[in-house]
Structure 1
């Protein structure tokens, strides 16, 4: 379902490059071991800008909650309505949450609390891969 391509900038380019390689990475602070997303020029926790690095994640998480979109304002997504939008909490840090359409999960049948793993889907306009999530049985 990913139709919109992200536009990487200097701050997000490492994240999107890793997605193209099939890897999920998050920004981490070596000074205080804090994980953060989205990436920022300094650590949310200790405010250090000198100790930030990228760390590879396991690609596992849990479905925290979801909603169903029936009236999307984005024209290119309207053909897919209704569709799920789920919040996925990362295994490494449940406070880091990513969105997913949960490909293959019927509308309004999202198993809240279920384990998921990351998959990467290509956007048609640029070929940029974006993280999506699939339920692990």
Structure 2
């Protein structure tokens, strides 16, 4: 549990560079240095060619809203009640990978395939979450 009362991601050896990028307000994704495929979420092995060689590239932070759900009944209620409704979304980044995230706008503003851009939520000194908003 974090100091702000909500569970937060725990970086591991594979995802630490992603979370460090977020802390620096940069959205980074893995690229296999053997086959060139991009991947998300971060993993130790390329799912396309099984190489363990990769590098991190800075993404544009722009994409399109692929799909979403609106959470109206939080579980556990005591932690998330003040957040509802909130949106959990899938965003297709310009670079070609799909990521799960939260949208920061009201649910009634969402449209399939709408252009979106990343913003960063500094939830603690150690962790920053990438979230998305509509491009205005």
TM-score by length of 2: 0.86
Quick one: which of 63, 66, 69 aligns to 1:61?
A: 63
Partner Cα distance (2:59, 2:130) in 1: 12
* Residue pair 1:68, 1:108 contacting (<8 A) in 2 also: no
Q: CA RMSD in A?
A: 1.6
Q: Runs of 4+ in structure 1 displaced over 3 angstroms?
A: none
- Structure with the greater relative contact order (CA < 8 A, sep ≥ 6): 1 or 2? 1
* Residue pair 2:67, 2:112 contacting (<8 A) in 1 also: yes
Quick one: which of 16, 19, 23 aligns to 1:16?
A: 19
Give aligned pairs, total: 130
* Residue pair 1:69, 1:82 contacting (<8 A) in 2 also: yes
Structure 1, unpaired ranges of 5+: none
* Residue pair 2:29, 2:38 contacting (<8 A) in 1 also: yes
- CA shift at 1:127, angstroms? 4.6
Partner Cα distance (2:134, 2:86) in 1: 16
What is aligned with 1:118? 118
Partner Cα distance (1:32, 1:121) in 2: 33
TM-score by length of 1: 0.85
Q: Secondary structure at the match of 1:46?
A: coil
Partner Cα distance (1:34, 1:100) in 2: 21
Structure 2, unpaired ranges of 5+: 1-5
* Residue pair 2:31, 2:56 contacting (<8 A) in 1 also: yes
